[in-house]
Amino acid sequence: MRRRDLTYVEDMASAIVQMLFFKEGIGRVFNIGSGVAVTIKDIINLLCDALDKPISDVEIVEETGTVGDPFSNVADITQIKKILNFKPKFGLEAGLKELIAQRMMSKGEAMDLK
């Protein structure tokens, strides 16, 4: 299965602010990410858990990758952690729960996420 490094938007924005406003970040190039590989199956499982929906209710169709699409793409965040002390605040599960909660609030629905 293909793996990707997904980063919650608030973590991305925080990293960019740190790069812009801390002198240690000026003129440097950093990878921004979580440093953690996830698969689409991981995401589907977490979404089903957060939405209290059985995975058996979801039809998953796995297709071949696009030509040139890398099998794995995970950010090495060693330098941004070392130089700017950047640490993502949201893991994948927390980020998905936050996203779902915000979407539900925008629709006027309340949801208790575990």
Domain-embedded: residue 112 = no
Is there a domain that residue 114 lies in?
A: no
- Read off the CATH number of the domain in which 100 is found: 3.40.50.720
Nearest to 60 by CA among 70, 45, 75: 45
- Count of domains observed in the chain: 1
Classified as helix, coil or strand, 4 is strand
Is the distance from CB of 64 to CB of 111 less than 8 angstroms?
A: no
**pTM for the complete prediction?**
0.74
pLDDT (0 to 100) of residue 111: 53
pLDDT by residue for the chain (114 residues), tens digit each? 789 999 999 999 999 999 988 898 888 999 999 999 999 889 889 989 888 889 999 888 878 878 888 888 999 999 999 999 999 999 888 888 888 888 888 877 655 555
Question: How far is Cα 83 from Cα 48, in angstroms, rounded to an integer?
Answer: 37
Q: Which residues constitute the domain of residue 56?
A: 3-106
Cα separation, 6 vs 10, whole angstroms: 12
